[in-house]
Structure 1
Amino acid sequence: MHARNSAPLGAGFRTLWTASAISTIGDGITLAAGPMLVASLTRDPVPVAIAVFCQQAPWLLFGLISGVYVDRVDRRRLIVAVNLARAAALAALAAAAASNAVNLLLIYAVFFTLGTADTLADNAGGALIPAIVAKDRLAEANARLSLTFNIGNQFLAKPLGAWLFALAVGAPFATDALTFAVAAALIATLRPIQATAKPAVAAVRTRLRTDVTTGARWLAHHRVLLTLSLSMGIGNIAFCAAFAVFVLYVRGRLGVTGLGYGVLLTTFAIGGTLGTVSVRHLKQRVRASTLLRVGLFIEAFTHAALAATTHVWIAACVLVLFGIHTMVWGSVASTLYQQRVPDELRGRVGSVRLLLDLGGAAIGTLAGGLIAQSVGLTTPFWIAAAVMLVVAVCAWKPLGPARIQ
């Protein structure tokens, strides 16, 4: 058993990992430079919020439909096509920015395109992993991808995006376009160790509504995965409701501004890094059900602690703990989905999961701002703590059978 666990993840995973690392850095660059581009055109907070929502809205509009096509077509080719589309959209934005022809409508259109592409690529990428990684190595593969995201997107890309924007307005978006083009070329060379679509299934063209509901019905009858999906969805509503006003909370509650705010954000990334490097050892020593159950209580504690404290060092320690939890919990949850969902349903079931997850984020973001505006900055954190405590208690028994094979 030890020899098998120490075996390499394989050339296919290395290719996927490299492509993910490159595009993750590009994503982070645009994540940093996009708001700066909007702010260079207007100081009104509403257009800035609309730009963010344009990238989130496709999950509410197309999330379930995208899952159908992830199961109907070759997932590798789908990711290649989507990455090329993202590269083209970003190249257009870079050219417009470089020639001083950019406007809000173009930014909204590009961000909406990127969000729509995400509904396909994120789902297809998660469904593709079990085709190139052995079942008993999935947790390690997911942890490595999470670590890459944490380092590339959180540590490296954001300051790089700001620096590129200062250097030339179109430079961040041209760089991101290049990363997607390179990622597409790498994914095109993948040769999965098992088929990613069953020919008999792919040949059958049922009604779109039937395909959409098939994934939802399958998930509804799988108690552990349904509990995970609902917990993640409700957790994201609570989290985004609280953290939608985090920059104002840090300034008004903790008295931190400027560089201190940026340093505080990195504590979350530090925790995420610690979580991703430790998940394999935790998985071998602690039951998946225990990691999931304890994680939900950690979320409740995080929100309550942030609501109660006025000391920045306490907040920093809490965020490190929360960062560890999110990466461990996410890796365990992803592995359970990949091991238990049949290959021919991974796209449709994954789309339901992502709809609850990212749709919850959009709802929470809107709700958090309204709550904070009406009743104070700490109220969203107290509400989030109460909600997650209820979720943790309700999910305790259903998560009991959770086991990683």
Structure 2
Amino acid sequence: MAEARKTVRGAKPRFDANYWKLWVATVVSNIGDGVGVIAYPWIASSVTRNVLLIAGIGLAQQLPWLLFALPAGVITDRYDRRNLMVIMDVLRAALIGVMAFVVLSRQDGLPTPEVIEAGLPFAEDLTLYGVLLVGAFLLGFAEVLRDNASQTILPSIVDIDDLETANGRMWAAEGVSNSFIGPLIGAALLGVALALPLGFDAVSFAIAAVLVATLKGTFTPPRAKGAPADRPTWTVEVREGVRWLRAHTVLWPMAVTLGLMMATFSFQSVVFVLWAQEILGADARILAYLGTAGAIGGVLGSLLGKKTAERVGPGTALFLTLVTLAVVPGIVGFARDWRIVWLLLGIAAFIATVWNIITVSFRQAIIPDDLLGRVNSVYRFVSWGMLPAGVITGGLVVRATEVAAGRDLALRMPYLVAAIFTLGVALWARPKLTTEKLEVARAEGDAARKERDAAKGDTPDTGG
């Protein structure tokens, strides 16, 4: 597969059938994810109104990033990345199908949408809560491995010089599917039955698995010529990825910056559904409308992200994204009109997509293929691994504020705290992620990658 890439390098950018199969699989699975964006929080709020219990479901889903991200990197560098994606999608389809059946069997005992929207008390269903908690935890493990394989497979499908364009198109599709089409379908399905969105999500993962399975080629990373027949232990391979990332003068502070930002994101997301219901007066339809802002902003970001980076420089673009992501929650924290929130969420989605296009393409381009899975997993361990910390902190802050100052301020507090914290992160990251440093690192990384790829054998590793 590496040899096939070399033959097209420098040619006119063109994406083959493999890319478009992956693109369609992304669209289908993200429509299902978008349905879940509306359905899962709504189902959770139908089971309990306790902020800490709802935060627990978010924590269960994000905890695998701390527990499994590093082993997932080793797995991704040892085995066929296409097969890993297929297996994880099949497992997620089966797991969500079971959850849908359980919700359907207990649906008659859950409160009506009118009771939820009015904020009226109801009896908690702790059995169903337990199912959601375990399901979220297991889905989190599958997501960690699937996402790592998905990000590391792309450089085997498209030319390195076309990664920004390829990622941009992928995220445009993801944004429309996840934040626009999916939530609207989810809101409609919730009106029919609580279990129906889960069934839809399960089917979407099954279809994505079939599409990814049809990718042609070999997607197991090749090993260097002369490498010993016996692979090092998993801990040795993890340490290699950690050392590589820790020694990099740009990727390491980039990972730390993203980790701090992910913590603030999960900090805010803890209360989002309760905040939208009780402060904005949102029902499932309005929650779906809010999701369209993310879709529109994400599409614009995917189309303009590369041009934005080229016009102002990647370092300046990253700094502006951080500043904007500090301003947005500061305004959201005082808002009461969902239309204003819609506009702010669109801006945030645009900015976040610009960040993703610059940073993901950057690390895909400079990390050697045989290290890409491990370094990518360490990067995401540092960054996404901060999600549980944000969930826990957010839940505690909300609970403490509610006791001291009431429910209204408690639901707003995560946004206000996130604004101040994010501004501090932006000021810390500014001198570490300059345009000059990013361009020098990319040039050096590209040269090192070409040299290392030249030493690779053409026979992929068969695992072990």
TM-score w.r.t. structure 2 length? Answer: 0.77
Write the distance in 2 (CA, Å) between the matches of 1:342 and 1:368: 37
Cα pair distance change 1:383/1:17, threshold 3 Å: same
Counterpart of 1:349 (choices 362, 375, 399) is 375
DSSP-derived class of the 1:402 partner: helix
Q: Map Cα deviations across residues 264-303 of structure 1 (whole Å, 9 max, x no partner).
A: 4533432222211212332443422221122122222223
CA contact (8 A) 2:90 2:205 kept: yes
Q: Structure 2: which amino acid aligns with 1:135?
A: I
CA shift, 1:364, in A, is 1.3
Q: Structure 2: which amino acid aligns with 1:402?
A: L
Write the distance in 1 (CA, Å) between the matches of 2:215 and 2:287: 41
Write the distance in 2 (CA, Å) between the matches of 1:171 and 1:202: 52
CA contact (8 A) 2:184 2:288 kept: no
Counterpart of 1:51 (choices 18, 35, 57) is 57
Q: Map Cα deviations across residues 6-46 of structure 1 (whole Å, 9 max, x no partner).
A: 63322111011111111111222233323344455555555
Q: Please, what is the CA RMSD of the aligned residues?
A: 3.0
Q: Does residue 402 of structure 1 match 2:426?
A: no
Q: Map Cα deviations across residues 19-77 of structure 1 (whole Å, 9 max, x no partner).
A: 11111112222333233444555555554333332221211211111111111111111
Counterpart of 1:327 (choices 330, 353, 356) is 353
Q: Map Cα deviations across residues 219-268 of structure 1 (whole Å, 9 max, x no partner).
A: 11111111111111001212332443345656777x55446565445334
Q: Does residue 20 of structure 1 match 2:26?
A: yes
Counterpart of 1:136 (choices 141, 151, 161) is 161
Cα pair distance change 1:112/1:373, threshold 3 Å: closer
Decide which moves more: 51-60 or 220-229: 51-60
Cα pair distance change 1:115/1:230, threshold 3 Å: same
Question: Hey, what does 1:358 align to over in structure 2?
Answer: 384
Question: Hey, what does 2:113 align to over in structure 1?
Answer: none
CA contact (8 A) 1:73 1:202 kept: no
Counterpart of 2:420 (choices 386, 389, 397) is 386
Cα pair distance change 1:10/1:39, threshold 3 Å: same
Percent identity over the alignment is 32
Write the distance in 2 (CA, Å) between the matches of 1:385 and 1:164: 34
CA contact (8 A) 1:5 1:137 kept: no
Equivalent residue runs for 1:193-208 within 5 Å: 196-199=220-223, 204-208=230-234
Q: Structure 2: which amino acid aligns with 1:162?
A: A
CA shift, 1:216, in A, is 1.4
Q: Structure 2: which amino acid aligns with 1:20?
A: T
Write the distance in 2 (CA, Å) between the matches of 1:169 and 1:78: 30
CA contact (8 A) 2:321 2:355 kept: yes
Q: Does residue 174 of structure 1 match 2:199?
A: yes
Question: Hey, what does 1:89 align to over in structure 2?
Answer: 95
Decide which moves more: 203-212 or 332-341: 203-212
CA contact (8 A) 2:74 2:237 kept: yes
Q: Map Cα deviations across residues 349-395 of structure 1 (whole Å, 9 max, x no partner).
A: 11122223322222112212322443444543343233222222222
Write the distance in 1 (CA, Å) between the matches of 2:172 and 2:292: 14
Cα pair distance change 1:334/1:203, threshold 3 Å: farther
Cα pair distance change 1:104/1:139, threshold 3 Å: same
CA contact (8 A) 1:91 1:173 kept: yes
Question: Hey, what does 2:84 align to over in structure 1?
Answer: 78
Cα pair distance change 1:120/1:5, threshold 3 Å: same
Write the distance in 2 (CA, Å) between the matches of 1:373 and 1:84: 38
Write the distance in 1 (CA, Å) between the matches of 2:253 and 2:44: 38
Gaps of 5+ in 1: none
CA shift, 1:313, in A, is 5.8
Q: How many residues align?
A: 401
Equivalent residue runs for 1:236-255 within 5 Å: 236-246=262-272
DSSP-derived class of the 2:14 partner: coil
CA shift, 1:328, in A, is 0.6
Cα pair distance change 1:35/1:306, threshold 3 Å: closer
